Amino acid sequence: MERLQKILSQAGVASRRASEQLMREGRVTVNGATIRELGTKADPASDDIRVDGRRIALPERYRYLLLNKPRGYVTTRSDPQRRPTVIDLLVGIREYVYPVGRLDFDTEGLLILTNDGELAARLTHPRHGVARVYEAEVLGVPDAHDLDRLARGVTVEGYRMTATQVHLLPGRRDRHATVQITIQEGRNRQVRNMLEAIGHPVEHLRRVAIGPIRDMRLKPGRWRDLTEAEVTSLRKMSLQTPRTLHRGGDPRHNAGPHRSHAAPRGRHGSGVRTRSK
């Protein structure tokens, strides 16, 4: 017997936390009875467990996909507004994979999808803080002071958000510039909100790395399976020591003043800021 939310995540229905939400919403039944109680146990081998009326099955094998999400797609399995979803792009995939984390409708870039609920839960858990790298085309040209503010942390809606690395990429620097920013938390619209907070709203946003995973050659709209080595490195990263969360206004969650310094001038030789951890 296992807890229902664990069974659901192992079956690739959703992460454990998302499975709990499904239960709260009354969408999970065991042998015909709706189960909202989070501690409830069931036996996946003998019980008839359903989500939205559809019987779950433990997956025969795990799939780990890397998709280059184009703009104009929702990161969900199904959208009540019937907009195109990332699942629409996975032609030929029969496993019940779901997105690990979220990219906004208008954000493009790398997105992992899997039916491995355990790994998905660890990767998205804020305590593990897997680094995600974004390239943001912004309005105006941030100066060294602006970049430093991002590395030190800005407070948006009560939450302190920091960039672990931030620098300006070479290229156009007239009315726009491209900022490369690395974050480890995953708050809703975090990069957009952080850049807005320093007065440089985002016009285009693209995720170029998730932890060790990068792929410059994967075209928007295309996907591939992650290699075994990639899955292993993601697994290792997801098991790293939990990090401290920073929440404005609550000193128990505050790790003290953030040290920041200019990193040695890198390949692009411009305004790199990093935050020491």
Looking at the annotation, which residues are catalytic?
A: 104
- Overall residue count recorded for the chain in this entry: 277
Closest separation in Å from C-beta 98 to ligand URA: 17
Alpha helices, DSSP H, located in 37-124: 117-124
Rule CB under 6 A: say whether 181 interacts with ligand URA: no
Q: How many angstroms separate the CA atoms of 46 and 2, rounded?
A: 12
- Closer Cβ to ligand URA, 16 or 69, answer by number: 69
- Closer Cβ to ligand URA, 47 or 104, answer by number: 104
Centre a 10 Å sphere on the Cβ of residue 32 and count the other Cβ atoms it contains: 7
Q: Which two tokens stand for residue 23?
A: 């239960």
Whose CA is closest to 163, among 177, 176, 180, 178?
Answer: 180
Closest separation in Å from C-beta 102 to ligand URA: 7
Q: Which two tokens stand for residue 33?
A: 């009875």
Find all residues with CB under 8 Å of 1, minimum gap 6, and list them.
41, 42, 43
Closest separation in Å from C-beta 191 to ligand URA: 4
Q: How many angstroms separate the CA atoms of 143 and 200, rounded?
A: 10
Which among 83-91, 164-172, 187-195, 252-260 is the span making contact with ligand URA, rule CB under 6 A? 187-195
Indicate the helix (H) or strand (E) that contains 41: strand 41-42
- Answer for which of 86, 191, 210, 272 binds ligand URA (CB under 6 A) is 191
Rule CB under 6 A: say whether 166 interacts with ligand URA: no
Helix-helix angle 144-152:190-197, to 10 degrees: 130
Q: How many residues bind ligand URA (CB under 6 A)?
A: 8
- Closer Cβ to ligand URA, 111 or 168, answer by number: 111
- Closer Cβ to ligand URA, 107 or 238, answer by number: 107
**3-class secondary-structure state, position 199:** coil
- Closer Cβ to ligand URA, 22 or 103, answer by number: 103
> Binding to ligand URA (CB under 6 A): which residues in 201-230?
205
Q: How many angstroms separate the CA atoms of 243 and 126, rounded?
A: 8
Which among 40-48, 113-121, 188-196, 243-251 is the span making contact with ligand URA, rule CB under 6 A? 188-196
- Answer for which of 16, 63, 160, 192 binds ligand URA (CB under 6 A) is 192
Bridge partners of 160, per DSSP, are 155
The CA dihedral of 274, 257, 209, 216, to the nearest 10 degrees, is -20
> Binding to ligand URA (CB under 6 A): which residues in 90-149?
103-104, 107
Q: What would the x/- binding string for ligand URA be over residues 4 to 43, using CB under 6 A? A: ----------------------------------------
Rule CB under 6 A: say whether 200 interacts with ligand URA: no
The residues binding ligand URA (CB under 6 A) are 103-104, 107, 189-192, 205
